Each structure stands twice: as structure tokens, then as C-alpha cells.
Amino acid sequence: MRMPQRNLIVVIVVGLLTGLGIYSYHQLRPASSRGQSVWAYLRDPAANQNLALQAGTRCGNAPFIFPTNGMAGFLWDDSFRPGHRHQGIDIFAGTEVGVAPVIAAYPGYLTRLPEWKSSVIVRVPNDPLNPGRQIWLYYTHMADSSGSSFVSTEFPPGTEEQYIQAGALLGYQGNYSGDPNNPVGVHLHFSIVRDNGLGRYTNELEIGNTYDPSPYLGLRLNANTNPNQIPVCEP
């Protein structure tokens, strides 16, 4: 017996909506489950300091030091909406803008393009985990919502290939998004960017152009293998 066409359409629509719901759940699950800890930390950082790390912390034998004060709340490959894949980590200090220092996680050669208000990128000629490979370390959101920069005056717009040591002060956490009417929360976005093979960095906005930062910082920073926990140094 054939199903009436109207009923068939209803079944198809329900099936599509169910599939979309399941897809959305799996896409958003990492960020939303961990998000509860993020919001609790931001409401009361002092009561949740066990979730935070200090700038300069080295976890185990990891080659990088932690680049700022705060909690790694959103991780590499977290999702904020269906289809979105986060290319780095977001570290929240729980302070006002311009307070939490941002430092270099590893030595390298710093560039700040003339139009960059909140960002710097550091070329690392020799990847400590893959010798012979060049990588780039990207730091951003170092400005207030209107674009007033918190990048250190040591690195004015137009800086190219200035050598810095690990621990050098790069600036301070801000909430710049490019839209004064839509600031982001105060944090540092940090990512490890692939080289294009010609001595330049690739587009950081695409996760395929970035590396999982977990082994570089000695933390569980991959949302696929750490879907709901805030990463901290493990004994």
C-alpha cells in the first residue's frame, strides 16, 4: 500500500530536521559543554583559578610556554556554529581590556602588518617538533572594541622580521573584533599557522592551515580528543 504523498512529505521533512538536529548537536557539543566552565570562570575568575594558567608556564617538556594569563576556554577544532571549526585556542584572563599580558610562546621573527590593530605573527624558522619545517605563531585581539591597540609599542604597525625571545611582551588582551558594535569577550586567540612553502604564512582563518597546538604546549587542546574539559597541566 503506497503512502499518501502528503504523509510522505511529512516523513521526509521530519527525517531531515532530525538529521539536522543530530548534526548540529555533534558540531556544537564541544564548545557548548565546555562553555559552562567558561561562563563560570568569567563570572568569578578568583573562585576558578584552578582552571587558569599563568603566562610563562611550561607544561612538562613542551617546547612552548603559555602565552598569557587565563583559562583555555575554546580549543582547536571547537565549533561555535554548524560547519565552523576553530583554528586556534581562546584564552580568557577574566579581566578588563588591556590588563592581562600576552608574551611570546617561542622565539622567532615578529611581523605586524601596517593595517593590523590587534595582531602580530611570529615566524619560527625551525619547528621544534618537526625540525626543518617553518611555522608561524599568530596572536590576536590585542586591542579594545574601537581598535585602540594594546600591542606593545616595541612593535609598531609595519614591523617586519624583528627577532624576539620567548617571554617577550607582545601586548595585552583585548576584545577587538573589527566591529565596534560587536566586540568579542576579552581574550587572546593563539594559533600555529602553516607555511605556504614559499616562506609566507597561509590564511589563518582556515583550520586546514593550522596545526593542533596540543603537543607544542603540553596541553589537551584538541576538541576532538578533549570534548568537554578545560585543559590544565597534568603531572
Residue 99 above 60 pLDDT? yes
State which residues form the domain around 205: 5-217
Assign 169 a pLDDT band (cuts: 50, 70, 90).
very high
Q: Is residue 92 part of a domain?
A: yes
Q: Is residue 231 part of a domain?
A: no
Residue 12 above 70 pLDDT? no
Q: Is residue 226 part of a domain?
A: no
For residue 48, the one-letter residue type is N
Three-state secondary structure readout of the chain:
CCCCHHHHHHHHHHHHHHHHHHHHHHHHHHHHHHHHHHHHHHHCHHHHHHHCECCCCCCCCCCCCCCECEEEEECECCCCCCCCCCCCEEEECCCCCCCCEEECCCCEEEECCCCCCCCEEEEECCCCCCCCCCEEEEEECCECCCCCECECCCCCCCCCCEEECCCCEEEECECCCCCCCCCCCCEEEEEEEEECCCCCECCCCCHHHEECCHHHHCCCCECCCCCCCCCCCCC
Assign 32 a pLDDT band (cuts: 50, 70, 90).
low
Gyration radius of the chain over CA positions = 20
Q: Is residue 202 part of a domain?
A: yes
Q: Count the domains in the chain.
A: 1
Q: Is residue 223 part of a domain?
A: no
Q: Is residue 233 part of a domain?
A: no
Return mean pLDDT, the chain. Answer: 87
Residue 5 above 90 pLDDT? no
Residue 27 above 50 pLDDT? no
The model carries a pTM of 0.85
The CATH number linked to 109 is 2.70.70.10
Q: Is residue 16 part of a domain?
A: yes
Share of the chain above pLDDT 90, in %: 76
- Residue 16 makes CB contacts below 8 A (sequence gap 6+) with none
Task: Output phi, psi for 3, to 5 deg.
Answer: -75, 135
Q: Is residue 141 part of a domain?
A: yes
Q: How far apart are alpha carbons 126 and 105 in whole angstroms? A: 14
Predicted pLDDT of residue 107: 98
- Over residues 46-96, the pLDDT tens digits come to 999 999 999 999 999 999 999 999 999 999 999 866 777 999 999 999 999
Name residue 162's beta-bridge partners.
110
